[in-house]
Chains A and B, each alone.
Chain A
Amino acid sequence: MEQYLQYVVNGVQQGAIYAIIAVGYTMVYGVLRMINFAHGEVYMLGAFVAHLCVINGLYGLGSDNPPAWGIAAMVLTCMAACMAIGILIERLAYRPVRNAPRLIALITAIGMSFLLQNLALLWFQASPKYASVESVSRSLSLGGISISLGQLILLVSSLGMMFVLRILVMKTNFGRGMRAVSEDMGAASLMGVNVDKVILGTFAIGAALAGAGGAMTAAFVASPITPYFGFMPGLKAFVSAVLGGIGNIPGAVLGGLLLGVIEAFVAGNPALSPYRDAVAFAVLILVLMVRPAGLLGRATAEKV
């Protein structure tokens, strides 16, 4: 029993990372109907910014026991940096092809993904870098279940961020604009919504969340950071977004958490362990066969 609870804890933590990236995919898809494949690379760059903060000792991070505000400041710095990167990507790569056929935008996105990967390779080299914050690697034990302090912070803050996002989308003017654009871009613009601004804002928020995910994975889970760091999580997050119903924010969160937990059980099972990724994709295919719009997605009946 304990063992299974531990799997759930592990899975929810990994799932929270998928969820925070998946939200970015889903928002951009919701608004633009395109998949931003460079999103995983933004996550990777977030981790590298965290690495730069740590090796330069910003916010008292170089020491053995960095202050809590220092860690928070690092995550915010990564979010800000990734926001800037997200805006840049939108302006340089996506806006010019916004009215072109959708396949073009998809190709641009993949090109952007490889460009960012190779820039990181040039800049940071391929040998693994670290941004671990040692003081949060302490383990808490709750009735036989271990969870590290860092994992707990990661979990709570990513869920917190998604809660704030929910409020932003549902209660603010900007959020109303987003929902309007996702409904019908042309009509929204006729109604006085500044479509450019809404799209830029959507990219910025998505990128900031990915940046936070990357920074927290690097700092709290102590993963080695390489230029290929974002590829797999990006792919899994995409699966999560589709699983939950692409375009749907709560769906992306649900999809991420679900995928994380399924993977944890698969990875921990000796017979299934090598098939961790295969099972993730198999689940996706199964769900799409039964519910093509995803778990929380709306099935839209369209006239042909």
Chain B
Amino acid sequence: MDIKRALVASFAMLAVAGLIGCNSGGSGSGKIGGGSSAESRLAERNKERKRDKAPDPVQDKIVIGVYGDFTGTNSTFGQDTKEGVAIALEEANAAGGVLGLPIEVVEEDTRTDQTQARNAVTKLIQKDKVLAVLGEVASSMSIAGGKVCDQYGVPMITPSSTNPKVTDIGQYIFRVCFLDDFQGTSMARYAVNDLGIKKIAILYDVESDYSVGLKDFFKAELAKLGGEVTHELSFKPADTDYRSQLTTIKNSKAEAIYIPGYYKSVGSIARQARELGISAKLLGGDGWSSSELIPGAGGPGKALEGAYFTDHFSALDPNEDVQNFVKKYEAKFKKKPSALAALAYDAAKVLFQSIESAGSQDRAKLRDAIANIKDFKGVTGTFSINEHGDVLKTITIVQVKGNEFVMVKTLEP
């Protein structure tokens, strides 16, 4: 029974390796509620919670924690976020800091790993004694880290996590970006009303909360507008071959494919679609918003040329504040800022302004100050924080043209 025993042992090992592999893949767990009402969300956010006491913040300077995916699978998102914060930090320190104190940023890597995200935030609070926290990009990571922040009563602002659940964690969690429901419905409206497309296939990432959420909202709105989802197929981030899903889509004669995934997969999907002779329009969400998107699709003018996606910001927006930010960013990092950099910049500025109006390094007062932000003029739009800890803001539809993301329309919530 030699072979059998060896095989059984191998399988046990394999199971262990598989579990570890899944973890480092960073897939989120738990489906998000597509249909949870505003009241139930609010009740969740305002629920009484027992809080642990966090160490008092460092007093002779303002220390802010930033946690993000700097080396994991979506690392360009983390890098962009870091750079956006760096610009805001430079500006604030040049203007004399906040409350007359210099500001310092401590960065922690999450490597697309939820356990690591929890550890990172715990370390920022316990060891670095930060006043508040900025991050993460991916919603699953923000949920993991946000729970720790709320438990200790440390205010957290996520620049770009769009899943509704993130701010439902508790009263200390805020965001400065729009939500998935708005993003999904906006793309459906744009496709039907502006592009005149009604038959759309969906190819989504089954392992990502973000992608599943976007898909559900898109589908619901498309149905309302009289459109039709021809097929709904899925992939996983570790896949490299999407041809079979695309073959089915090709035969369904869809006029467009909605791909609410992250940039890494989208490039390959677009290429393989074109190789199979699919000429349907490609549509997506802000997970596409990366400098790596176009190289992954074979370069400018190739598979993704003319594709549309919903985004927070366009570096080509003629608005004066936007252009000032773009100029500073380009001078420092020698590239155009992505939407994630812009959101991080806004999140940092909201935080600095709130610390100033709170008047001291008191975390509860700071929380209230953030909750009371009104008509903040950011580079990603003008916004106020609402009772959910969210913001209502415009969405930008951008089109891929050559090496640029060109702004074609903005939609109001």
Residues of chain A touching chain B, judged by Cβ–Cβ distance below 8 Å, are: 2-3, 6-7, 10-11, 13-14, 33-35, 37, 102-103, 106-107, 110, 113-114, 121, 125-128, 130, 132, 134, 137, 139, 141, 146, 148, 217, 221-224, 226, 228-229, 231-233, 235, 238, 242, 246, 263-270, 273-274, 276-277, 288, 292-293, 300, 302, 304
Complex CA gap A7/B277 in Å reads 15
Whether A265 contacts B244 in the complex (CB less than 8 A), given A37-B17, A222-B298, A304-B1, comes out as: yes
Contacts of B299 in A (CB 8 A): 134
Whether, in the assembled complex, B251 has its beta carbon less than 8 Å from a beta carbon of chain A, the answer is yes
CB distance from B305 to the nearest CB of A (A): 14
B240 touches A221 (CB 8 A): yes
Whether, in the assembled complex, B360 has its beta carbon less than 8 Å from a beta carbon of chain A, the answer is no
B3 touches A300 (CB 8 A): yes
CB distance from B180 to the nearest CB of A (A): 19
Report 30 cross-chain contacts, Cβ distance below 8 Å, ordered by A residue: A2-B251, A13-B243, A33-B6, A34-B6, A37-B13, A106-B13, A110-B16, A110-B17, A126-B72, A127-B75, A130-B295, A134-B299, A137-B298, A141-B277, A146-B276, A148-B275, A222-B268, A226-B73, A228-B238, A231-B238, A246-B7, A263-B244, A264-B244, A265-B244, A267-B233, A267-B242, A268-B233, A268-B245, A270-B232, A302-B1
Complex CA gap A233/B72 in Å reads 19
B276 touches A139 (CB 8 A): yes
Closest to A6 in B: B247
B251 touches A231 (CB 8 A): no
Whether, in the assembled complex, B25 has its beta carbon less than 8 Å from a beta carbon of chain A, the answer is yes
Task: Find the residue from A229, A273, A276 having the highest chain B CB count within 10 A.
Answer: A273
Closest to B248 in A: A268
A232 touches B296 (CB 8 A): no
Whether, in the assembled complex, B76 has its beta carbon less than 8 Å from a beta carbon of chain A, the answer is yes
A126 touches B71 (CB 8 A): yes
Whether A217 contacts B2 in the complex (CB less than 8 A), given A37-B13, A273-B245, comes out as: no
B241 touches A3 (CB 8 A): no
Residues of chain B touching chain A, judged by Cβ–Cβ distance below 8 Å, are: 1-4, 6-7, 9-10, 13-14, 16-18, 20-21, 24-25, 71-73, 75-76, 111-112, 206, 231-236, 238-245, 247-248, 251, 264-265, 267-268, 271, 275-277, 292, 295-296, 298-299
CB distance from B307 to the nearest CB of A (A): 17
Contacts of B298 in A (CB 8 A): 132, 134, 137, 222
CB distance from A38 to the nearest CB of B (A): 11
Complex CA gap A156/B275 in Å reads 19
A268 touches B247 (CB 8 A): yes
Complex CA gap A270/B112 in Å reads 29
Contacts of A10 in B (CB 8 A): 241, 243-244, 247
B232 touches A125 (CB 8 A): no
B296 touches A128 (CB 8 A): yes
Complex CA gap A235/B277 in Å reads 31
Whether A232 contacts B10 in the complex (CB less than 8 A), given A224-B264, A224-B267, A293-B3, comes out as: no
Closest to B5 in A: A102
Contacts of B236 in A (CB 8 A): 276-277
Q: 6 tightest A-B contacts by CB?
A: A268-B244, A223-B240, A267-B244, A10-B243, A264-B244, A232-B238
Whether A127 contacts B238 in the complex (CB less than 8 A), given A235-B18, A267-B245, comes out as: no
A103 touches B17 (CB 8 A): no
- Give how many A-B residue pairs fall within 8 Å (CB-CB): 140
Closest to A7 in B: B244
Contacts of A132 in B (CB 8 A): 298
B10 touches A106 (CB 8 A): yes
Closest to A304 in B: B1
Closest to B17 in A: A110
Complex CA gap A103/B264 in Å reads 37
Task: Find the residue from B72, B235, B245, B299 having the highest chain A CB count within 10 A.
Answer: B245
Complex CA gap A273/B244 in Å reads 9
Task: Find the residue from B239, B295, B299 having the highest chain A CB count within 10 A.
Answer: B239
Question: With A10-B247, A130-B296 given, can you name 16 additional A-B contacts, CB distance below 8 Å?
Answer: A3-B251, A10-B243, A10-B244, A37-B13, A126-B73, A134-B298, A139-B275, A221-B240, A228-B21, A232-B238, A263-B244, A264-B244, A267-B244, A269-B248, A270-B231, A300-B3
Contacts of A300 in B (CB 8 A): 3
Contacts of A267 in B (CB 8 A): 233, 235, 242, 244-245
CB distance from A263 to the nearest CB of B (A): 8
Contacts of A127 in B (CB 8 A): 75-76, 292
A7 touches B75 (CB 8 A): no
Q: Within the complex, which residue of B13, B76, B271 is in contact with A137, where a contact is CB–CB below 8 Å? A: B271
A242 touches B71 (CB 8 A): no
Whether A102 contacts B9 in the complex (CB less than 8 A), given A7-B247, A137-B271, A264-B244, comes out as: yes
Closest to A64 in B: B299
CB distance from A128 to the nearest CB of B (A): 5
CB distance from A32 to the nearest CB of B (A): 11
Closest to B201 in A: A270
A3 touches B247 (CB 8 A): yes
Whether A217 contacts B240 in the complex (CB less than 8 A), given A228-B73, A268-B247, comes out as: yes
Contacts of B275 in A (CB 8 A): 137, 139, 146, 148
Complex CA gap A148/B76 in Å reads 30
Complex CA gap A121/B25 in Å reads 13
Complex CA gap A137/B73 in Å reads 25
B75 touches A126 (CB 8 A): yes
Complex CA gap A123/B218 in Å reads 39
B17 touches A113 (CB 8 A): yes
CB distance from B8 to the nearest CB of A (A): 10
Closest to B22 in A: A231
Closest to A127 in B: B75
A235 touches B14 (CB 8 A): yes
Contacts of B14 in A (CB 8 A): 235, 238
Whether A121 contacts B244 in the complex (CB less than 8 A), given A110-B13, A274-B206, comes out as: no
Contacts of B25 in A (CB 8 A): 228
Complex CA gap A292/B71 in Å reads 42
Complex CA gap A299/B331 in Å reads 69
CB distance from B287 to the nearest CB of A (A): 14
Task: Find the residue from A130, A233, A267 having the highest chain B CB count within 10 A.
Answer: A267
B10 touches A228 (CB 8 A): no
Contacts of A113 in B (CB 8 A): 17
Complex CA gap A228/B236 in Å reads 13
Contacts of B16 in A (CB 8 A): 110
B233 touches A103 (CB 8 A): no
